[in-house]
Amino acid sequence: MQSTSSHLPKTVRAATCKSNGVAMRTLHEFLKRKDPDKVWGGLTRTVTPEGDVLWLCKEHIKELYPTSS
């Protein structure tokens, strides 16, 4: 299976993986308990052009989507 994250910076690619529904629901329940205010450690939900959802810090969002000067 070919990775859909080949356009991502290397540091982001290293931390990505595909998850199944059960794993995602388990993670979501854990996060709701540990972070009820939904701060998410400063991460932002980001959707790639392929439709993958990544939770990235501001630094990696800038790497993925640099602004034009």
Is 5 part of any domain? Answer: no
Residues 47, 53: contact at Cβ < 8 Å?
A: yes
**Does residue 15 lie within any of the structural domains?**
yes
Backbone angles phi, psi at 25, to 5 degrees: -65, -40
Interatomic CA distance for residues 32 and 30, integer angstroms: 5
Which residues, at least 6 apart from 6, have a Cβ–Cβ distance to it below 8 Å?
13
What global pTM score does this model have?
A: 0.55
Domain that holds residue 39: 10-64
Structural domain contains residue 3:
no
Using one digit for the tens of pLDDT, what is the confidence trace for 43-68? 999 888 888 888 899 998 888 888 74
d(CA 34, CA 28): 10
3-class DSSP state of 35:
coil
What percent of the chain has a predicted confidence (pLDDT) above 70?
Answer: 70
Q: Is residue 52 one of the residues assigned to a domain?
A: yes
Identity at 55, one-letter amino acid code: W
Residue 46 maps to a domain = yes
Report how many domains make up the chain. Answer: 1
